[in-house]
Amino acid sequence: MSKTNIKYFILTGDPGVGKTTLTKKISSLLREKGVPTSGFYTEEVRRNRVREGFDVVTLDGERGPLAREESLLSNPAKYKVGKYGVTVQEFEKIALPSLQKMEANHLMVIDEIGKMEFFSQPFKSKVKEIFSDTSNNIVLATIPARKSDNLIEAIRNHRHAKVFMVTRENRNTIDKIILEEMKKTLNFV
């Protein structure tokens, strides 16, 4: 049985495969077609080709830290993922305001729904609300490929979600397939 009434377009795949690049490409193409968008993506922060951490960047260009190497933080972080300290308050200040739905036929972008972001309880609550059965949000989101948090698994298996596995082989062409699926939900040409 195929899923009908798809409103959650979920990208998954291994780390570094190109989910964020694809998310930025799709949201940019939709903006060009007049589809209102909001939300955020995460981006690596590098210095001299060495990753120092991650920033959260809204689709409107506002930027702030999500995580930094522990040695670069002025105060020890309460939450850590590997060598990175997660800057929860800074993340919330940028990400949460970007997740307010504006109007009908609007795309909300959430890159990524993952371990670092879930240290924020307000963010986790907002994600639950966005993906609730009573929600009328249309969402493009990325989630980890590996099974993890129960909420992430509920999103992956949601009856109104379609999951797209991004691979090195399809990452430069899968946008066309996703956009064709989105045409059924969003009104654009």
Q: Is the pTM of this model over 0.95?
A: no
| Tens-place pLDDT, residues 85-101 | 999 999 999 999 999 86
Q: Could you tell me the pLDDT band of residue 12, with boundaries at 50, 70 and 90?
A: very high
Q: Could you tell me the pLDDT band of residue 46, with boundaries at 50, 70 and 90?
A: very high
Q: How far apart are CA 131 and CA 13, in angstroms?
A: 20
End-to-end distance of the chain based on CA atoms, in angstroms? 28
The pLDDT assigned to 189 comes to: 67
State the SS3 of 3-51: CCCCCEEEEEECCCCCHHHHHHHHHHHHHHCCCCEEEEEEEEEEECCEE
Domains assigned to the chain: 8-183 (3.40.50.300)
Evaluate whether 58 touches 40 at the Cβ level (below 8 Å).
yes
Which sign does the torsion angle of CA 156, 161, 166, 169 carry?
Answer: positive
